[in-house]
């Protein structure tokens, strides 16, 4: 019994020591867990969304536009034989530099020579008939002077003589044509230049006028490009433009518009434009890619914005708006605008904006009314008129079918649809 009493006394002593040492630790863990739960229950603070902005009126009130073009020769031609025949030999290849009068290709001249010989024989026959008719009419004139024949008989022989004379002239003309056709069997360079293409080979039978080679005179080079009906009225012969070659982008050239097509191409419905370039030795080569840059002045009421700044107020309707930032609270508000047209990746706003307004130009499709944002300044991008819309009506129609908002834009309200999504940088 005595040993049992000591045993249970030891157990109680150890229990008290354990309770006094572990209880503070358990209380501390419970306090930490409670504080953590309270902290998690507090709402997280979302940082303001960064957006690119621009200030209306601070940019140059003009539309900067670029057109892709190609360096071409001012004088180009598709060389062809003036007669039909089989090509006997081709003397040049693509890229060959030729001189004026140099033979480019030859036809088999056998048939042409035979035709020339037949024409020459026809001239001999007509000449003999002419001499006979001339002698006959002279004799009948002498007989009529002595009243040995009637006037009708003389007139008949004079008609025969006139017919023989006409036949001789016709035979000579035909012989000259046949002689020329013999010369046409040789295709020669019309001037000093370069061969740009080969469209026929030796042994091939070609028709008169069928292209055999392409030819260009590289002494005068220019840039050829096309514009839509939206811009053609702003271009005038003599206007200066900037030309940048992809092969030498660091050195821009100053060109002058030489020609604007008066009518649109029936297939593409675009207008061809030619820009004369200064003669830079060795810097230009046929076929080089160039970018033609120019600026069009806008009216004082019109503002050019990136297309990504435009949002649609209601699906299926041409009611547009932009996000305007309150400079005091940095909150965004929708401002209705009237769109005058589109040009490449820019939209022309005719009314609804005032000078000094801060407009969101990138990230507009992620915003909602009253959201606080963090503005980032951004310059208006330059328009590249590669697939530019033809006019405002076509552009508005294109806006109706623009891409829908991405799934990541969860904060986008259902009544706001982006016109053109632009990746935020």
Query: Cβ(405)–Cβ(418) under 8 Å?
Result: yes
Predicted TM-score of the model (pTM): 0.57
Q: Name the CATH superfamily housing domain 76-188.
A: Helix hairpin bin (1.10.287.470)
Domain at 67-72+218-297, CATH from 2.40.30.170, 3.40.50.970, 1.10.645.10, 1.10.101.10: 2.40.30.170
Cβ burial, residue 281 (10 Å; 0-12/13-18/19+): exposed
Q: Where are the domains of the chain?
A: 52-61+300-418, 67-72+218-297, 76-188
- If DSSP states are collapsed to H, E and C, what string results for 171-224? HHHHHHHHHHHHHCCEEECCCCEEEEEECCCCCCEECCCCEEEEEEEEEEEEEE
- Give CATH for domain 52-61+300-418: 2.40.420.20
Q: How many CB atoms lie within 10 A of CB 353?
A: 20
- One digit per residue, the tens of pLDDT, for the chain of length 425 reads 444 555 455 555 555 555 555 555 655 665 555 555 444 445 566 788 888 888 887 776 677 788 999 999 999 999 999 989 999 999 999 989 999 999 999 998 888 888 888 888 888 888 888 888 888 888 888 888 888 888 888 888 889 888 888 988 888 888 888 777 788 889 999 999 999 999 999 999 999 999 999 999 988 889 999 998 878 888 899 988 989 888 877 778 889 999 999 999 999 999 999 999 887 666 788 888 999 988 877 767 778 888 888 888 777 677 888 888 888 888 889 888 888 777 767 788 888 888 888 888 888 888 888 888 888 765 444 444 433 433 333 433 433 343 333 333 333 333 333 444 333 33
Query: Cβ(308)–Cβ(402) under 8 Å?
Result: no
């Amino acid at each position: 019994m005595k040993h049992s009493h000591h045993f249970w006394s030891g157990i109680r002593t150890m229990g008290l020591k354990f309770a006094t040492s572990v209880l503070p630790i358990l209380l501390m863990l419970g306090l930490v867990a409670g504080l953590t739960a309270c902290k998690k229950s507090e709402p997280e603070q979302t940082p303001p969304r960064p957006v690119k902005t621009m200030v209306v009126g601070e940019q140059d009130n003009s539309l900067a536009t670029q057109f892709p073009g190609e360096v071409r020769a001012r004088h180009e031609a598709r060389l062809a034989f003036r007669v039909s025949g089989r090509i006997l030999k081709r003397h040049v290849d693509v890229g060959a530099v030729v001189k004026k009068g140099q033979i480019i290709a030859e036809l088999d001249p056998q048939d042409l020579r035979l035709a020339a010989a037949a024409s020459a024989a026809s001239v001999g026959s007509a000449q003999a008939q002419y001499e006979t008719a001339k002698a006959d009419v002279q004799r009948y004139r002498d007989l009529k002077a002595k009243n040995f024949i009637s006037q009708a008989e003389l007139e008949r022989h004079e008609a025969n003589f006139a017919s023989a004379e006409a036949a001789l002239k016709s035979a000579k003309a035909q012989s000259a044509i046949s002689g020329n056709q013999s010369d046409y069997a040789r295709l020669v360079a019309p001037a000093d230049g370069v061969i740009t293409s080969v469209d026929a080979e030796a042994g091939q039978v070609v028709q008169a006028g069928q292209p055999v080679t392409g030819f260009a005179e590289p002494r005068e080079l220019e840039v050829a490009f096309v514009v839509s009906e939206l811009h053609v009225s702003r271009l005038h012969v003599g206007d200066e433009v900037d030309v940048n070659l992809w092969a030498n982008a660091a050195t821009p050239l100053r060109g002058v518009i030489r020609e604007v097509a008066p009518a649109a191409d029936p297939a593409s419905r675009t207008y061809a434009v030619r820009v004369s370039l200064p003669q830079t030795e060795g810097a230009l080569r046929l076929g080089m890619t160039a970018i033609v840059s120019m600026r069009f002045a806008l009216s004082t009421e019109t503002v050019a914005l990136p297309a990504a700044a435009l949002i649609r107020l209601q699906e299926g309707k041409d009611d547009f708006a932009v996000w305007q930032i309150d400079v005091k609270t940095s909150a965004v508000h929708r401002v209705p605008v009237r769109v005058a047209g589109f040009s490449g990746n820019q939209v022309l706003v005719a009314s609804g904006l005032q000078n000094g307004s801060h407009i969101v130009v990138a990230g507009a499709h992620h915003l909602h009314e009253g959201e606080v944002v963090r503005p980032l300044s951004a310059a208006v991008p330059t328009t590249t008129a590669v697939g530019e819309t033809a006019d405002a009506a076509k552009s508005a129609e294109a806006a109706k079918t623009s891409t829908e908002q991405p799934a990541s834009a969860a904060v986008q309200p259902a009544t706001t649809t982006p016109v053109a999504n632009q990746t935020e940088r």
